[in-house]
Amino acid sequence: MSSEVLYGITFVLLAMSFIKDRGKTKKALKKAYKSLLKNLSMLVSIMVIMGIVLSIIDSNYISMIFGKESGIYGILLGLGLGSVSFMPSFIAFPLGASLLENGAGYPQVAGFISSLMAVGFISLSMEAKYFGMKTAVTRNSLALVASISFVFVVWRFM
């Protein structure tokens, strides 16, 4: 689906919302704008760092570490890095695409992205504060098992 179609759908839905309740729509747009401004510095910083890292690191090096030839080592590295990293999804997915373009293998990137999105060892203490340590560890462990399962599915079919 092209971005023009998505923008068109978004515009139509926004117009429908505006027709139904102008006040709520304006309030939602203000919240979205404030959220954008709040996250903009982080977004720009991560994109700049990602650009610098990808320009410094040779695609041969990415292939060596995360390429198809890296096998289980590359998958474990991807799972490990993803589990301890903290990155929003709107940065993680383009990073995954960049890794693939630079020679990384699908299972390795799948391990990295899935554990990045599901496992949060960095935020474990905060999660434990709200849900309890047992629940936080259980959730993260199950998320890691799910990521590993996902990797095997990708490995099998890609």
Q: Which pLDDT tens digit goes with each residue over 16-73?
A: 999 999 999 999 999 999 988 887 887 787 778 767 776 787 777 877 888 888 989 9
Q: Structurally, how many domains does the chain consist of?
A: 1
Closest CA to 111 of 156, 66, 55: 66
> Does pLDDT of 1 surpass 70?
no
> What single-letter DSSP state applies at residue 128?
H
Give burial (CB, 10 Å; 0-12/13-18/19+) of 10.
exposed
Determine the pLDDT at residue 152.
94
Quote the radius of gyration of the chain (alpha carbons, Å). Answer: 19
Q: Contact at 8 Å (CB) between 151 and 77?
A: no
Residue 13 lies in a domain: no
Residue 30 lies in a domain: no
Instruction: Give this prediction's pTM.
Output: 0.69
Determine the pLDDT at residue 90.
76
Residue 104 lies in a domain: yes
Residue 22 lies in a domain: no
Q: Which domain holds residue 115?
A: 58-158
Residue 158 lies in a domain: yes
The mean pLDDT value of the chain amounts to 88
Residue 151 lies in a domain: yes
Residue 133 lies in a domain: yes
> Does pLDDT of 132 surpass 90?
yes
Q: Contact at 8 Å (CB) between 74 and 61?
A: no
Residue 134 lies in a domain: yes
